[in-house]
Amino acid sequence: METNFNSTLVDIISFGMNAPGIASISNIPSGKYKSIKLVLDSNQGNVGINEESFGFHFTNSNPIEINSNFEVITGLTTNIKLNFDLVQLQYNYTENSFTLPSQIVTSTKTSFELPYTPGILILKLTKPIENIDSNEVGIQEIDSILGKNNLLSILPLVAEDTTVDQETAALIGLDRTYFLIFEAKVDLLQVNFALANIPEIEWVTTNTKAEVDAVPNDPEANTGCFFCSKYQAAYLTAINAYNGWNITTGSPGVKIAVIDTGIDDTHQDLMGKIIQNRSFEPATCYHWGIFPYECVTHLEVSRPFYNGAQGWDHGTDVAGIIGATTNNNLGISGIAWSNPIISINVFYPVSGNKPSSSDRLVAYGILEAVNVGAKVINMSLGGEAYEYCQWACLVRVFTYSLSRDAVRYAEAKRVTMVASSGNDNRRIATFPGSIEFSGSYPASYNEVISVGNLDSVFSYTRKYISSNYGKVDISAPGTSIFSTSTNGNYVFKTGTSMAAPMVAGLAALILSIDSNYHPKDVLKSMCNQATPLTQTGNSSIDREYFGCGRINIAATLAALVPPPQRPNIVSDCGAIDQVPCPAGRWFLPWEFQFVASGGTPPYSWSYEGGGLPTNSWLDPNTGRLVGGATWWFGPGWTFMLRVTDSAGQSDIRSFYFASGL
């Protein structure tokens, strides 16, 4: 049981805490129900107040009855929220905990929805099959099951005329992947289970939904440059960005794809930075002109569907963190100033115009990003993976299998992927996880850099309360981050969605120095110079909280750039163990050419300490020492000579000059 605190209500959320949520209602028979009695597994929980967690328990653990009409069908996920009047909430000073002496429900809210798209299964065969029919695979056992469930059509993921690299796609198996189209009323999980253990099938799964990874909060609009500079300066200083920009601000040749809700490229801080790519969204197609099914269509650009609507500024916010225009006397500074950003929208509006996506759309977005030349992909999105079980889990079906293959394709093309770890304050598994310990995808894939959120209240040294932990590779500030929004606005947002683009920006800076870095080397470079963090005193737990630590941009980039070679003064005279350099002969003018090697020419010359030979002059541009006729014969002259190259590196050495007969 988990409780969330606000000013008026405590919310008890059930049927979502034990991963996956499917398991919580797997034993409830399908049908329509007028009410349900909720029996809590435990009357103990936590209440979060001002970033701190306190113990919480009910003194009465009787079942809670909810009178609400709802329907249970196979594969349905359920959220039940019960609201309790906080007047009843009491604090126990001795135990430092809260109690609720009576369970008085003031309101209830139940929501039931499929976690996947109706009518679509995604199938991957173990071997490619040529000339698959529109409604038959050509394998009797598979076709028998599909026929019994009235398969409408089979559609290939990768067609021959796409821009996908066919050779790499074949290595990953994308050419063996198909969409199975059914009527929406078909029980997909039963079909899925029936197909799962057939030897010719590598995997089969549903098209699982995905969401943006931003913590809902009330954005505060910019009220002046004071807030802009104050909040930006705090996190930019924490990640050592200012010193890093002295090394590189990025390269136009390294493109960053933002797979998100689209980007408003009319924002004054993003103008000229955004490459609008085509978007991916579901549409209704018809089989034989009769049976509707969900297909994918494209728009020519990837701008938000609803400028100003809740959630649709998410991609614009992410883009600003990555690469808002710098030195334009406006708004904010992005991490990677000089890198173009590719906008790829994979979200579409659902009830209330809320942005939603799916495993299939995210996979299309990844493939598209690779094909249009992105070297870095940011995915501030994700969802919990479900592992459906049947017959005491003898048959298991894992979700997010399609995006898994898209991620493998991207890594094979040496594209660095960064994703938010999620905002559920839960421990997430590394792929594949288990039914008891699930992941958050795409962050849980080994090929993807998973990013945790650091709390501004503690100067970015502690995990933010909602940030997931477990499979976290590295951390960055993600609390109250000030960035671009739609309609020319700026907002503060919190979530791992805000932390991930900082890491994506650093990845772009690394690749701007050396574009041949493999994605694993990019993460290794970050971790080698990351700032270690500790919160619990337990190194294993801290590793799950922070990964290898907080990004350090300057240290990471400095380690990649060898220190400039210093110039070196070259001479075979004038040193202690050498003969004196000649300062001319009696009654004759003379000259001497100093020589340097290495460093970055051109050089400049100067003398420091001591004095030049009498009646001589040093040309600071050429290093030529010119003297008039001399009549001195005796002790010579000692002075310090410095050479400085165009990079500011210098060498200095002592010279001894003497006149000769």
Number of residues assigned to the chain:
661
Tens digit of each residue's pLDDT (9 = 90 or more) over 41-67: 566 665 555 445 556 666 655 666 655
pLDDT recorded at residue 330:
84
Which strands sit side by side in the sheet containing 9-14, from one edge to the other?
Answer: 90-92, 97-100, 52-58, 44-49, 2-5, 9-14, 77-85, 105-113
Question: How far is the C-alpha of 142 from the C-alpha of 192, rounded, in Å?
Answer: 11
What's the CATH number for 568-660?
2.60.40.10
Mean pLDDT score, 591-602? 94
Clarify whether 260 is annotated catalytic.
Answer: yes
Q: Which of 198-202, 208-212, 317-321, 328-332 has the lowest mean pLDDT?
A: 208-212
CA 500 to chain centre: 3
**Which pLDDT score, from 0 to 100, does residue 53 have?**
54
- If we measure between CA atoms, which residue out of 528, 604, 605, 596 comes closest to residue 565? 596
Mean pLDDT of 543-547: 96
- State the pairing for strand pair 255-260/387-390: unpaired
pLDDT (mean) for 413-440? 89
Categorise residue 502: left if φ over 0, alpha if ψ from -120 to 50, beta otherwise: alpha
Which of the following is catalytic: 14, 314, 466, 473? 314
**Which residues sit opposite 476 in a β-bridge?**
453
Is a pLDDT exceeding 60 seen at residue 294?
yes
Q: Hey, CA dihedral for 418, 422, 423, 427, is it positive or negative?
A: negative
Average pLDDT over residues 450-466: 93
SS3 category, 178: strand
**Taking the mean position of all CA atoms in its chain, how far away is CA 236?**
17
Question: What pLDDT, on a 0 to 100 scale, did the predictor assign at position 13?
Answer: 30
The pLDDT assigned to 158 comes to 80
Burial of 476 (0-12, 13-18, 19+ CB in 10 A): buried
CA dihedral sign of residues 162, 165, 171, 172? negative
Please report, for the chain, the start and end positions of each structural domain, with discontinuous segments joined by +.
Answer: 2-113, 117-210, 215-384+417-560, 568-660
Q: Is 497 a catalytic residue?
A: yes
Residue 634, both tokens: 């005796």
- Name the more confident of 269 and 636: 269
Span 402-412, pLDDT tens digits = 999 999 999 99
pLDDT band at 339 (very low <50, low <70, confident <90, very high): very high
pLDDT of residue 215: 41
**For 558, phi and psi rounded to 5 degrees?**
-65, -35
Q: Is the pLDDT of residue 1 over 60?
A: no
Q: 217 in helix, strand or coil?
A: coil
- Least confident range of 99-103, 346-350, 482-486: 99-103
Strand-pairing partners, residue 440, are: 384
pLDDT of residue 27: 44
pLDDT digits (tens, 9 = 90+) for 225-261: 344 445 688 899 999 999 999 999 999 999 999 999 9
Higher-pLDDT residue of 15 and 108 is 108
Q: Name the band, by pLDDT with cuts 50, 70 and 90, for residue 96.
A: low
**Superfamily of chain region 215-384+417-560:** Peptidase S8/S53 domain (3.40.50.200)
More confident residue, 502 or 426: 502
With 0-12 CB in 10 A as exposed, 13-18 as middle and 19+ as buried, what is 541?
middle
Question: Degrees (nearest 5) of the Cα angle 145, 148, 149?
Answer: 90
**283: confidence class by pLDDT, cuts 50, 70, 90:** confident
Instruction: Give the integer Cα–Cα distance in Å for 266 and 303.
Output: 10
Residue 21's pLDDT band (cuts 50, 70, 90): very low
Give the Cα separation of 552 and 244 in Å (integer).
Answer: 8
Cβ–Cβ under 8 Å, residues 100 and 10: yes
Gap between the Cα atoms of 505 and 511, Å rounded: 10
Do 509 and 335 meet the contact criterion of CB atoms below 8 Å apart? yes
Range of lowest pLDDT (276-280, 302-306, 552-556, 648-652) = 302-306
Q: Which amino acid is at 345?
A: N
Contact 584, 590 (CB under 8 A): yes
pLDDT for residue 50: 47
**Range with lowest mean pLDDT among 21-35, 116-130, 213-227, 395-409:** 213-227
Q: Please determine, for residue 166, whether its predicted confidence score (pLDDT) is greater than 60.
A: yes
The distance of Cα 171 from the centroid of its chain, to the nearest Å, equals 26
How far apart, in Å, are the Cα atoms of 439 and each of 76, 173, 260, 264, 398?
A: 19, 23, 20, 31, 11
Give me the pLDDT at residue 103, please: 52
**328-357: average pLDDT:** 89
DSSP state of 86: G
Residue 140 has a pLDDT of: 92
Which of the residue ranges 20-29, 297-306, 332-341, 405-414 would you say has the lowest mean pLDDT?
20-29
**Amino acid residing at 485:** S
Distance of alpha carbon 559 from alpha carbon 92, whole angstroms: 53
Omega within 30 of 0 (cis) for the link into 613: no
Q: What tokens were used for 457?
A: 């209240």
The two tokens of residue 49 are 């107040």
Whole-angstrom CA distances from 650 to 567, 569, 657 are 6, 9, 22
Give the separation between CA 546 and CA 255, rounded to whole angstroms. Answer: 27
Mean per-residue pLDDT, 115-130 = 88
Domain 117-210 falls under CATH 3.30.70: yes
Q: What is the pLDDT of residue 562?
A: 81
In this structure, of 20-29, 185-194, 613-622, the range with the lowest mean pLDDT score is: 20-29
* Start-to-end CA span in the chain (Å): 100
Please determine, for residue 585, whether its predicted confidence score (pLDDT) is greater than 80: no
C-alpha–C-alpha distance, residues 655 and 571, integer Å: 9
pLDDT at 26 over 50: no
- What average pLDDT does the chain have? 81
Which one-letter amino acid corresponds to residue 68?
A: S
Q: What is the percentage of the chain residues whose pLDDT exceeds 70?
A: 77
**Catalytic, out of 497, 512, 616, 659:** 497
Q: Which residue has the tokens 């490459």?
A: 275
Task: From 323, 348, 355, select the one nearest 258 (Cα to Cα).
Answer: 323
pLDDT of residue 33: 60
Q: Exactly one of 165, 175, 213, 260 is catalytic; which is it?
A: 260
Residue 8: the pLDDT is 29
Cis check: omega of the bond before 101, within 30 degrees of 0 = no
